[in-house]
């Protein structure tokens, strides 16, 4: 493995979207040639080889932009395997909660953990993503649900970010669930946390879960307005379990993205299209929970850009593969391979504020590049395994290599 941020990735078939903003059409660019990298940035893409001494021989393999995961619940500790078994035996969420499962069991584990515990667990998880070709990830708080433990999670995210090659983007999700003090009192508490997060610059994004059993539309709207007035960028969890109109409201209130959207209505989709809000779809969670999939085709037809995320968390989805995610997007959401590919690269990068830096292979962008051993991107949904990843470059440095032959062709 080469260890330099100055190198040439030679003889690859580059497949990428272009630009810095989310796109709806599926125009991908393909170019066979060499990528020259200086100080971690792409400086040229050319048919000519340069005199570079450090070389990665691509041998005709595909070079794609590193995948971006705009929605995970890292960091957390512990598992919820009992809950998984209860659900697979037909238990409803209310029964699971009664038996001590659900989000509050993770909240309990996180409250009992130190920052170090969270960092260790988080670093392990982001490494799994790295080996799957994910070079930028969003991480959220949301399992503390009080001042001390929410801030503890954000501090853990900062340390994870300093100890992994990947770009990590933190989101404050103190509004993940309502603790026993009730919604009104907790929103006041959340505003106090937001002021602190702002002062210490622990996150630029704020998220809230507005759905059945979580925050009300009124409470969530008040909170989103407050967060916006403080200069935060807003993301929301909406329309996962029921349709309450909040996806449309949040997009009118200036949310960058609305996430989940399995139960989304046409009126909400129209608001999102009007406001250019990105729909972050999480088909791995729908699949894991045997729930409905989001109406992706309707969104695309109405002009809503789509990003794909994993929603990786211990309760409702433990899959983290962008390959499997793209498979589901193609097979269950009706997206084309190109649409799903763009949704997991450029559009996802834009959602977490990285559209200028990564998400495409273009001169001037960071060299976050993944080499996969397939003839074209249709093979990503066709054979959705992380084993296709042969090498991962972050900031031009090769951080993972897999020499096993997993090619379909030979
Ligand atoms: Zn989520």
**How far is 144 from 123, CA to CA, in rounded Å?**
19
Counting Cα atoms < 13 Å in the Cβ hemisphere of 157 gives 30
CA of 72 to the centre of ligand 1 (A): 6
pLDDT at residue 278, rounded to an integer:
98
Give yes or no for a contact between 268 and 239, defined as CB atoms under 8 angstroms apart. yes
Q: Dihedrals φ, ψ of 306, to 5°?
A: -115, 135
pLDDT at residue 44, rounded to an integer:
96
CA of 254 to the centre of ligand 1 (A): 19
CB atoms within 10 A of CB 254: 14
pLDDT at residue 1, rounded to an integer:
64
> Taking CA 18 as the corner, what is the angle to CA 391 and CA 257, rounded to the nearest 5 degrees?
95
- pLDDT per residue over 245-264, tens digit each? 999 999 999 999 999 999 99
Task: Please list the ranges in the chain whose pLDDT falls under 70.
Answer: 1-4, 408-410
CA of 209 to the centre of ligand 1 (A): 8
CA of 262 to the centre of ligand 1 (A): 13
Domains of the chain, first to last: 7-65+359-401 (2.30.40.10), 68-351 (3.20.20.140)
CA of 240 to the centre of ligand 1 (A): 9
- pLDDT per residue over 172-212, tens digit each? 999 999 999 999 999 999 999 999 999 999 999 999 999 98
pLDDT at residue 26, rounded to an integer:
80
pTM for the predicted model, two decimal places: 0.97
Q: Which residues surround ligand 1, an ion (CB under 5 A)?
A: 311
What ranges make up the beta strands (E) of 188-316? 205-210, 233-238, 257-260, 278-281, 306-308
CA of 116 to the centre of ligand 1 (A): 23
pLDDT at residue 246, rounded to an integer:
96
């Amino acid at each position: 493995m080469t260890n330099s941020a100055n190198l040439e990735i030679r003889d690859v078939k580059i497949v990428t979207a272009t630009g810095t903003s989310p796109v709806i059409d599926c125009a991908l660019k393909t170019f066979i040639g060499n990528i020259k990298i200086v100080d971690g940035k792409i400086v040229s893409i050319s048919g000519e080889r340069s005199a570079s001494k450090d070389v990665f021989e691509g041998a005709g393999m595909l070079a794609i932009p590193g995948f971006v995961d705009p929605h995970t619940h890292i960091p957390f500790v512990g598992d919820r395997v009992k809950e998984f078994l209860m659900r697979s035996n037909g238990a409803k969420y209310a029964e699971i909660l009664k038996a001590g499962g659900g989000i509050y069991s993770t909240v309990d584990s996180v409250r009992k953990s130190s920052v170090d515990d969270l960092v260790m667990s988080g670093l392990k998880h982001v490494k799994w993503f790295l080996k799957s070709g994910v070079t930028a990830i969003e991480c959220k708080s949301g399992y503390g649900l009080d001042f001390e433990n929410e801030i503890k999670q954000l501090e853990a995210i900062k340390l994870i970010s300093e100890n992994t090659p990947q770009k990590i983007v933190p989101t404050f999700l103190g509004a993940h669930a309502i603790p026993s003090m009730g919604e009104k009192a907790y929103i006041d508490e959340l505003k106090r946390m937001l002021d602190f997060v702002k002062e210490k610059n622990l996150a630029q994004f704020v998220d809230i879960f507005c759905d059945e059993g979580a925050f009300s539309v009124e409470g969530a709207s008040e909170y989103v307005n407050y967060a916006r007035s403080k200069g935060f960028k807003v993301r929301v969890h909406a329309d996962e379990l029921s349709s309450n109109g909040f996806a449309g409201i949040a997009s009118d209130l200036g949310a960058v993205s609305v996430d989940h959207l399995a139960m989304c209505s046409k009126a909400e989709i129209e608001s999102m299209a009007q406001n250019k809000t990105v729909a972050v779809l999480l088909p791995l969670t729908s699949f894991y929970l045997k729930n409905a999939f989001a109406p992706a085709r309707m969104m695309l037809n109405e002009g809503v850009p789509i990003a794909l995320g994993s929603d990786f968390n211990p309760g409702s989805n433990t899959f983290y593969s962008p390959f499997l995610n793209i498979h589901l997007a193609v097979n269950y959401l009706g997206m084309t391979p190109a649409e799903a590919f763009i949704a997991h690269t450029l559009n996802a990068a834009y959602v977490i504020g990285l559209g200028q830096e990564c998400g495409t292979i273009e001169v001037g962008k960071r060299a976050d590049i993944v080499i996969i051993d397939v003839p074209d991107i249709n093979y990503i949904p066709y054979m959705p395994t992380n084993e296709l990843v042969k090498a991962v470059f972050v900031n031009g440095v090769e951080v993972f290599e897999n020499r096993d032959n997993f090619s379909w062709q030979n």
